Amino acid sequence: MKKLGFLWMVFLAMVVSVGLAACSEDEDGTVVNAPQEFFGTWDLYGEKVTFNSNGTGVWADSDGESETFSYTYNNGTVVVTLPYGDTEVWEVMSLSSDRLVAQDSEGNEIVFTREDSGSDEGGDGGGDGQQLVEDADFDMSEPSTLDAAVDLYPEVSGKYDITDAAGSGYASIELLGDGHYILLRDGAYYAVAGKAPLEQRGQLRSPLKREYVDMGYVFYGTFEKSADGVYALDGFGTLEVSGYDSNGKVTHIILTDNANGTFSLLVEKRDAIELTGNTALLCGRMWQLVKDRASVWMEGSLAFDAIYNAAEDHASVYSNSINASPDEFFDFGDETTMQTFFSPYGTYLYVNRDGSVDVALWRWENEDEGKIYTYEYEGDEDAGVADVAFSGNRMTITASESVPGYSAQYVTLARALN
């Protein structure tokens, strides 16, 4: 799941799209001498390429960013001018109103399809008549039946950055609305702690069945109110709210670490994303992995298609003309991310099959369209945008990558546990 879905952290690096330099329209209004079917917008493995009749064009990548370019067409040879004078040369092998097959200078086949042609090539279907194996579990056509998750402790739930650590070594604490907490060490502890030793990880169980997990730099467990402003952190100690600002926002806490003593800490609460729309569906609940799917197209033809079943810890391979091993696409055994939790404060917690946990960050690229962005730590957003969809009590996260001659799609299917 970490390789495919929940990013899931780890989430899904995106291929850098080809950028093309700007150029101006020919001053004499020259019309390119090419068949009429050639002009217009084509889909090239998820990217949009438009050839105008005046020798200019527009290339839009999968993120919606676009650049203009210039080109010539001479007896089936297309010469595209790239940045700084570089060129790409394509030989047109076949052309119809909805399909253009070309060959690049290295002999690789490139397949263009019309954006509205209904063709399956390059992303959602198999290409050249090859279709993805149907799996009804991935059908997300029905609306979601989920209600917004209930916040058990609205008076204190939130993510608190510790601005004066008082020698505690802690960077932040998050009190989740479902009654769990996440306590993080600061950067120095991250550097030396790493993941828990294998012998320790092997003894861990799912946090849904275990009250407390100590990874050395991430602490995760349940909490409950024991008195006004006082909360018991199971397995760790207690948290007492000791100060507020004029707006009633928590500014000071007293954190008692049963192993290391008591610390009076200055904190700053982060602003939450409003729990409406897709945020209300995504956040505040634990998600259980059901399946992962990986599909790859080479030169427009389906080259690899496999589905990983989390309960069985097994992948079924349906197409594999490239002789790829399933472990190139999926995590098996203890490394499989089985559960995940998104908070409205931008935290993303994931739980592996062996019970070990880790955290990352997320934000919306476009909430209304369900486009989500995930990354490992503050300031590191070198990841990709994925598409989130909800249906019934399920969620899919779909990430795609595409370059000329190659495209891939990764889908994670999860079920809400609350």
Give the chain's domains with CATH numbers. Answer: 36-114 (2.40.128.280), 136-144+283-416 (2.40.128), 158-269 (no CATH)
Q: Is 247 exposed, middle or buried (0-12, 13-18, 19+ CB in 10 A)?
A: exposed
pLDDT in tens, 5-19: 333 332 333 322 222
Q: Please tell me the predicted confidence (pLDDT) of residue 198.
A: 29
In angstroms, the first-to-last Cα distance of the chain is 20
**Alpha-carbon distance 310 to 249, whole Å?**
42
Say what the pLDDT of residue 418 is: 82
**Which residues in the chain come in under a pLDDT of 70?**
1-30, 62-64, 83-84, 115-130, 187-212, 214, 377-383
DSSP codes of every residue in 175-241: E-TTSEEEEEE-HHHHHHH-SPPHHHHTT---TTT-SEEE-SSEEEEEEEEEETTEEEETTTEEEEE
pLDDT of residue 200: 30
Token representation of residue 5: 């879905």
| Cα–Cα distance, 210 to 165 (Å, whole number) | 28
Phi, psi dihedral angles at 229 (to 5 degrees):
75, 5
pLDDT at 63: 67
Q: Which residues contact 346 (CB under 8 A, 6 or more apart)?
A: 159, 270, 273, 361, 362, 363
The overall pTM is greater than 0.75: no
What is d(CA 53, CA 39) in angstroms, rounded to the nearest whole number?
A: 6
Give residue 159's pLDDT.
93
State the Cα torsion 116-121-125-128 to the nearest 10°: 120
Alpha-carbon gap, residue 299 to 110, rounded angstroms: 6
Q: How many CB atoms lie within 10 A of CB 27?
A: 6
Q: Quick one: 69 exposed, middle or buried, by C-beta within 10 A (0-12, 13-18, 19+)?
A: buried
d(CA 113, CA 119): 7
Q: What is the pLDDT of residue 240?
A: 96
Sequence-separated (6 or more) residues with CB below 8 Å from residue 250? 156, 158, 160, 241, 243, 244, 267, 269
**What is the reported pLDDT for 123?**
35
